[in-house]
Amino acid sequence: MPEIIAGLEIPETAAVAEATEQRFEVDGADHARKFLLERGFPATAAGTVWTAIALHTTPGIPGRMAPETAVTHFGVLTDVLGFGLGELDGDRVAAIVAAHPRGNFKTEFLRTSVDGLRHRPGTTNGTVNSDYLEHFVPGFRRTTTVERITGSPWPS
């Protein structure tokens, strides 16, 4: 698992910088899989990393999956939202933050997220990512699931 962790760190920057019609999680997962395969990692390891990254923002599912997927999901929740932070050893957290300062994490995380999503707003539907656009992009309005159902081509 330690070698797989390296693959989990690569994709975010590449994914938010890319102009595609895929969700950024899928772009990130694709980048990580390609990165690992090009460096000789087994396809199974690359697949594990792909799943962990692709599902890391999906509520309720990753925590019930393989350890790599669950750890990625809960790690992101802790890093971004502070989920479970109070349950961690305070001295260890302080040592980690001293070695790797968070800087202006909240602002930079939100800015980077918006920058990576504003050119593909349709990919945020049904995800937490639409929250970023709704909050920071004037005029952005998410399409609701009800609107998608009532606007479908089915007559009833």
CA 61, CA 69: separation in Å to the nearest integer? 9
Check whether residue 47 and residue 20 sit in a common domain: yes
DSSP alpha helix (H) spans, 10-156: 11-17, 24-38, 43-54, 67-81, 90-99, 105-117, 129-136, 145-150
Both 4 and 78 in one domain: the answer is yes
> Coil, strand or helix: which one is 126?
coil
Question: Per-residue pLDDT tens for 7-48?
Answer: 555 555 555 556 678 999 999 999 999 999 999 999 999 999
- Asked if 21 and 1 count as a contact pair (C-beta separation under 8 A), the reply is no
Split into its structural domains, the chain has a count of: 2
Model confidence pLDDT, tens digit, residues 94-137: 999 999 999 999 999 999 999 999 999 999 998 999 999 999 99
Range of the domain at 70: 1-102
* Whether pTM exceeds 0.85: no
For residues 25 and 84, state if they share a domain: yes
